[in-house]
């Protein structure tokens, strides 16, 4: 009887561990595109945005990263009470990133204007964006209004 209980408990623990392990990181995209496809489509491999407004700190946050292990995406808009992770965030961000068409040669003001427009923000108190372009160069676009 004791042996049977141990087998059942052991099986339950093992099943739980396998199920939890299969869930993965909630920000991971389940069927990610290849890094080459993302680079050619977006022109960058990493995008990390944080915009504060007078009404809301961290009003808009968007993060996206593709590497050899996969793709992670997250989008949070506190003004619209929207929180997206993984596949949902990637599908939401994909057309925005495609339309942005950012390049490392753009002026800071042009990049900021395009990003603010794309994410529907007209005024901000702090703008912080880090982009890693396809050649590996990372550029930070930052502005603070007081």
Model confidence pLDDT, tens digit, residues 60-75 = 999 999 988 889 999 9
Q: Is 85 left (phi over 0), alpha (psi -120 to 50) or beta?
A: beta
pLDDT given for residue 69 in this prediction? 86
pLDDT given for residue 70 in this prediction? 87
Cα–Cα nearest to 127, from 7, 74, 70, 113? 113
Average pLDDT over residues 12-36: 52
Q: Which residue has the tokens 């495609």?
A: 98
Q: Is 11 helix (H, G, I), strand (E, B) or coil?
A: helix
pLDDT given for residue 39 in this prediction? 58
- 66 and 35 Cβ atoms separated by less than 8 Å: yes
Q: Is 73 helix (H, G, I), strand (E, B) or coil?
A: strand
pLDDT given for residue 19 in this prediction? 40
Neighbour order of strands in the sheet with 70-77: 82-85, 70-77, 60-67, 44-52, 126-133, 138-144
Q: Is 87 helix (H, G, I), strand (E, B) or coil?
A: helix
Q: Does residue 3 have a pLDDT over 50?
A: no
Q: Is 44 helix (H, G, I), strand (E, B) or coil?
A: strand
pLDDT given for residue 68 in this prediction? 83
Instruction: Look at 52 and 20; give whichever has higher pLDDT.
Output: 52
Tens-place pLDDT, residues 105-132: 999 999 999 999 999 999 999 999 999 9
34: DSSP letter = P
Q: Which residue has the tokens 């209004």?
A: 145
pLDDT given for residue 103 in this prediction? 95
């Amino acid at each position: 009887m004791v042996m049977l209980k141990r087998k059942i408990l052991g099986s339950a623990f093992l099943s739980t561990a396998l199920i939890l392990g299969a869930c993965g990181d909630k920000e991971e995209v389940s069927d990610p595109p290849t890094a080459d496809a993302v680079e050619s489509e977006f022109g960058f491999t990493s995008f990390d945005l944080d915009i504060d407004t007078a009404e809301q700190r961290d009003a808009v946050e968007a993060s996206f990263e593709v590497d050899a292990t996969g793709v992670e995406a997250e989008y949070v808009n506190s003004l619209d009470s929207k929180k997206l992770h993984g596949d949902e965030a990637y599908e939401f961000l994909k057309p925005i990133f495609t339309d942005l068409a950012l390049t490392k040669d753009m002026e800071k003001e042009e990049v900021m204007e395009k990003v603010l427009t794309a994410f529907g923000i007209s005024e901000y108190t702090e703008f912080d964006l880090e982009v890693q372009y396809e050649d590996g160069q990372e550029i930070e676009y930052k502005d603070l209004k007081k």
